[in-house]
Amino acid sequence: MAFDGIETRSFSRRAMKAELLDAETELALAYAWRDRRDEAALHRLITAYMRLAVSMAAKFRRYGAPMNDLIQEASLGLMKAADKFDPDRGVRFSTYAVWWIKASIQDYVMRNWSVVRTGSTSNQKSLFFNLRRVQAQVEREAMARGEPLDRHQLRERIAREVGVPLHDVEVMEGRLSGSDFSLDATQSSDEDGRAWVDILPDEAAQPDETVADNHDTARLRGWLVEAMGVLSERERFIIRERKLREEPRTLESLGSELSLSKERVRQLEAAAFGKMRRALESNAREARALLG
């Protein structure tokens, strides 16, 4: 979905006018998508809760990201939530979707906050999105008590409040207060000075390493093709769908397509791996040498 300007506002208005689902209807739609992959049910479920995605996206505008991009990320999070939602757990879809929407938006904001990554651990995320708020809160409380705080004391209080090490607070504070600079800028005021990019080490693989890696990769790929060749068409299909897709399919979805139980698909998958393992045994010694 692409949004900008008037189109973004128009989309937001349409989202806010979408139907409100009662618990029974929501549950029926969730079952229809999970059990029958009913795309109409999925579309209705996502459309009904797009207002939630738009509302959450608006809360992150203060980080300077375009609203259209935030809405797109929120929409992706909503779709992931719909795909992974299990109606048997007895929770409302909106409660489940909030986590996925927020995670998707936060990941986007952190990816685009700076050319230099601000970090992606749970501690770093917590600091990134709470540092300024907690700092202001600690400063207000200290001021109300008439208790002056130096920078070190303030950071210690923030670390305790957020529940992270003091070092993480110091590092994140430095990252958020810094600016990005062009690597094409010269190191001095002299126009003939070297650019910063000129002193960066070349981390690319050397030609001999590239040739060796390509040779080894081709050999391993050939062994994999040979191993796949001993499988039946159904077994190859299961292995491709379960292990070679960017987003592996579930046992349930494969069972539904193949008219098999989830346990039977699991058994076929295990049997296929056994066949492939035996087919690779003749090359095992060389394979272990290449793989380290």
Query: CATH number, domain at 49?
Result: 1.20.120.1810
Same domain membership, residue 92 and residue 32: yes
Please enumerate in sequence order all residues whose Cβ is within 8 A of that of 164, keeping only pairs 6 or more positions apart, or say none: 123, 126, 127
Residue 146, domain extent: 116-179
8 A C-beta contact, residue 217 and residue 269: no
Same domain membership, residue 42 and residue 120: no
Same domain membership, residue 83 and residue 131: no
pLDDT at 159: 82
Residue 190 lies in a domain: no
Q: Is the pTM of this model over 0.95?
A: no
Residue 46 lies in a domain: yes
Domain's final residue, options 70, 93, 113 = 113
- Please write the tens of the pLDDT for every residue from 181-235: 454 555 554 455 555 445 445 555 555 555 555 555 666 667 677 777 888 889 8
Alpha carbon distances (Å) from 231 to 217, 219, 228, 272, 279: 22, 20, 6, 6, 10
Q: Is the pLDDT of residue 32 over 90?
A: yes
Q: Is the pLDDT of residue 83 over 50?
A: yes
| Mean of per-residue pLDDT scores for the chain | 76
Number of structural domains the chain divides into: 3
Q: How far apart are CA 253 and CA 234, in angstroms?
A: 14
Mean pLDDT of 85-109: 89
8 A C-beta contact, residue 132 and residue 162: no
